[in-house]
Chain A
């Protein structure tokens, strides 16, 4: 079945970077777009960016432009999201999702990233 499985929880110091992975299975990896969406505690969903898993093209939210990098490894059917210059406001659950440019039809289980000194 179609699924995306994310890496485990992370605890980072302010100013550090975090890299979260997302392994896809059950479908043709290169045929879909992969999004990253985050949700701070008790807050709304927030779109961060996407990567076209086929050609590697990326699009980022203006809010995160310059601080987020999304990459993929087609041989491993895996997508990565790296967020730099972390602050406490980046404490959130980060989701990887499969979909089209406008929707996500399969979500990972989420990765909690905690930024604390």
Chain B
């Protein structure tokens, strides 16, 4: 069960946009439109930000958007705000053998 690959860190200034990538394989991201993204502040439980590649749960600002191309999914945060500073994890459904896999996480810093 291989983890998805994310950059360990990303950063941007307030008001800017930043994109975090998540690379998988034909067994997960490529094969299914079931990519989700989670935000985790220190010491807190993760929070769902994007599901099924690009859908936003109620209450999540539209500054957060998701996309997918081939084996790579992306999370874009527009109009960065201080409260966006957190760890972000991607996840994908990986079929009937492995089911769910997570990325290694990306620490987003708002400069």
Distance in angstroms from A9 CB to nearest chain B CB is 14
Are B91's CB and A103's CB within 8 A? yes
Count the B residues whose beta carbon is within 8 Å of the partner chain — how many? 26
CB-defined contacts of A46 to chain B, threshold 8 Å: 102
Which residues of B pack against A, CB within 8 Å?
A: 1, 3, 32, 34, 36, 38, 45-48, 51-52, 57, 89, 91-93, 97-105
- Size class of the contact patch on chain A: 20 to 34
Instruction: Let me know if A80 is at the binding interface, CB within 8 A.
Output: no
Give residues of chain A (67-100) contacting chain B, Cβ–Cβ below 8 Å: 95, 99
Residues of chain A with a CB closer than 8 A to B104's CB: 44
State the Cβ distance, B57 to closest chain A Cβ, in Å: 6
* 14 more A-B residue pairs beyond the given contacts A62-B98, A102-B91, with a C-beta to C-beta distance below 8 A: A44-B3, A45-B89, A47-B91, A47-B99, A47-B100, A47-B102, A62-B97, A101-B93, A101-B99, A102-B32, A102-B100, A103-B51, A104-B36, A104-B46
Q: Which residue in B36, B98, B101 is a CB contact (below 8 Å) of A103?
A: B36
Contact, CB under 8 Å: A44 / B57: no
> Shortest beta-carbon distance, B35 to chain A, in Å?
8
